[in-house]
């Protein structure tokens, strides 16, 4: 097998759109056996899957793929051409994806896991230079894009803030973009104005990734959020089609949830519960976009308890005060804090709690409380960790090297810790 057993099986379940239980039944094995085959190879309880099962799974997947191909008359070709925007290999909006293309990217992210988990190294981007241009505050996005590029063997040049850039001297987006394209092979750009990253992208032919444009979009965050939901659901034996997603907080200015809702609309029959303080509701253009696709139900409420009931995913967001014009924070009372008491009272036992981070941990912030840190339903650190394989996948696709990665992998020469943080001990080896 050219990919790991875990990647092979997860890919098969995703392609067949089956939960672990149904998949185990379909291939005639016990769920417990399947669980051990799905563990990472280094973990204690990992077991190798018999070859006959592997052949059987390959056969089912290939038959399904063949049928799907006839049914959809799929266009084929490299993924970067299928998601291209104006003929360029750039990622500006989640609207560039179909369900097929996004799931292909998810499979590539799965393939990156041994590198992201520091078991393997690769040099497929050796010699390539990334320009990380961040004209707005960032920690996770900037560092994880940089780390993802480095882990594929490339190098990174960073610039942060307006004050230290030539834009503070009145330089145009066009000039900055054109000049940078002469220096680097790809750019990630974050800028406070909606639509500005598309302007950068129009001025160059090198790959550009939108790292957040004002209240507009944050496509790489939506991809890693989708990846997190699919991975957690696989562990929990759930499917995304038909799931209930509750989204809370500042839905007006939160670009992560704008991208996430559009991305999730590629799935079928979702129920969205949108819970926000008065004045910070989800923009109508996003609601209309989602309503026009996939047979979804969208409910809006100001009541946290009611909104969380029955949700499979609770996605909390920070109030984006930096984008406020004349909004007040009066409606944003303590009722909007997601904390352990609220979750225990209203949420399902197998809910997953997500947040794009940073969360405002100050007491009066009414964001996602730290009292959930030891609760295994809190997926925020697993979610943030997923930023690496997903951003590696984005670069590999945009630079056209995804097919070289698998064979380029070598063992790491140093010894990373088995758990990178205290809270992931419960889940270590589970996915």
**Phi, psi (deg, nearest 5) at residue 338:** -90, 110
Residue 258 contacts ligand ASP per CB under 6 A: no
Query: Checking DSSP bridges between strand 410-411 and strand 120-121, what pairing results, if any?
Result: antiparallel
* Binding track, positions 301-340, relative to ligand ASP; x by CB under 6 A: -----------------x----------------------
Smallest gap from residue 255 Cβ to ligand ASP (A): 5
261 φ/ψ angles, rounded to the nearest 5 degrees = -60, -40
CA distances from 5 to 58, 110, 242, 329, 341 (A): 12, 11, 28, 50, 40
Distance in Å, CB of 59 to ligand ASP, minimum: 43
Would you say 57 or 245 has its CB closer to ligand ASP?
245
Give the residue from 314, 303, 316, 336 showing the smallest Cα distance to 245: 314
DSSP string, 168-206: GGT--HHHHHHHHHTT-SEEEEEESSTTHHHHHHHT-SS
Return the closest-CA partner of residue 389 out of 152, 229, 77, 50.
152
Nearer residue to ligand ASP within complex by CB, 256 or 273: 256
Q: How far is the CB of 212 from ligand ASP (least distance, A)?
A: 5
Q: Which is nearer to ligand ASP, 131 or 212 (CB)?
A: 212
- Residue of 142, 238, 255, 382 interacting with ligand ASP (CB under 6 A): 255
Query: Binding of ligand ASP at residue 220 (CB under 6 A)?
Result: no
Cβ nearer to ligand ASP, comparing 37 with 145: 145
Residue 89 interacting with ligand ASP (CB under 6 A): no
Nearest-angstrom CA–CA distance, 125 and 401: 8
Least distance in angstroms from the C-beta of 141 to ligand ASP: 6
Q: For residues 290 and 288, what is the distance between their CA atoms, to the nearest angstrom?
A: 5
Residues in 335-364 that interact with ligand ASP by CB under 6 A? 356
CA distance 389 to 370: 26
Q: Give the residue from 311, 318, 336 showing the smallest Cα distance to 256.
A: 318
Is 191 a residue that touches ligand ASP (CB under 6 A)?
Answer: no
> At its nearest, how many Å lie between ligand ASP and the CB of residue 314?
16
Quick check: 387 binds ligand ASP (CB under 6 A)? no
Count of residues engaged in binding ligand ASP, rule: CB under 6 A: 6
Nearest residue to 289 via CA among 272, 301, 277: 272
| Cα atoms in the 13 Å half-sphere on the side-chain side of 39 | 17
Min dist CB 354 to ligand ASP, Å, is 12
DSSP structure class, residue 424: G
Closest residue to bound ligand ASP by CB: 318
Binder to ligand ASP among 114, 207, 212, 214 (CB under 6 A)?
Answer: 212
- Is there binding between residue 277 and ligand ASP (CB under 6 A)? no
Q: Which residues would be at the binding site for ligand ASP (CB under 6 A)?
A: 212, 218, 255-256, 318, 356
């Amino acid at each position: 097998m050219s990919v790991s057993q875990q990647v092979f099986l997860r890919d098969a379940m995703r392609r067949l759109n089956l939960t672990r239980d149904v998949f185990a039944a379909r291939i005639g094995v016990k769920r417990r056996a399947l669980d051990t085959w799905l563990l990472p190879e280094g973990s204690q309880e990992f077991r190798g899957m018999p070859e006959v099962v592997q052949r059987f799974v390959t056969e089912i997947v290939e038959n399904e793929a063949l049928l799907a191909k006839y049914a959809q008359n799929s266009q084929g070709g490299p993924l970067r051409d299928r998601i291209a925007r104006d003929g360029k290999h750039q990622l500006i909006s989640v609207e560039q994806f179909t369900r097929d293309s996004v799931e292909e990217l998810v499979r590539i992210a799965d393939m990156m896991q041994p590198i992201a988990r520091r078991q393997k190294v690769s040099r497929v981007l050796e010699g390539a230079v990334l320009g990380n241009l961040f004209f707005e505050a960032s920690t996770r996005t900037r560092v994880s894009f940089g780390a993802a590029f480095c882990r594929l063997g490339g190098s990174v040049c960073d610039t942060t803030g307006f004050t230290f850039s030539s834009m503070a001297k009145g330089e145009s987006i066009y000039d900055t973009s054109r000049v940078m394209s002469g220096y680097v092979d790809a750019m990630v750009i974050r800028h406070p104005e909606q639509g500005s990253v598309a302007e950068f992208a129009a001025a160059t032919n090198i790959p550009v990734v939108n790292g957040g444009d004002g209240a507009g979009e944050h496509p790489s965050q939506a991809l890693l959020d989708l990846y997190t939901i699919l991975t957690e659901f696989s562990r929990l034996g759930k499917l995304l089609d038909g799931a209930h997603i509750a989204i809370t907080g500042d839905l007006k200015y939160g670009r992560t949830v704008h991208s996430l809702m559009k991305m999730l609309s590629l799935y079928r029959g979702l129920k969205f519960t949108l819970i926000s303080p008065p004045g910070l509701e989800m923009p109508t253009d996003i609601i209309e976009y989602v309503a026009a696709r996939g047979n979804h139900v969208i409910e809006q409420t100001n009541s946290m308890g009611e909104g969380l009931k029955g949700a499979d995913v609770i996605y909390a967001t920070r109030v984006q005060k930096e984008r406020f014009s004349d909004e007040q924070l009066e409606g944003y009372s303590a009722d909007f804090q997601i904390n352990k008491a609220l979750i225990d009272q209203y949420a399902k036992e197998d809910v997953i709690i997500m947040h794009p981070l940073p969360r405002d941990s100050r007491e009066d912030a009414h964001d996602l409380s730290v009292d959930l840190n030891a609760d295994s339903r809190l997926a925020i650190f697993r979610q943030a960790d997923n930023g690496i394989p997903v951003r590696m996948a984005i670069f590999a696709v945009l630079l056209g090297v995804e097919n070289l990665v698998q064979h380029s992998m070598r063992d790491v020469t140093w010894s990373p810790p088995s758990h990178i943080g205290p809270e992931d001990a419960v889940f270590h080896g589970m996915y």
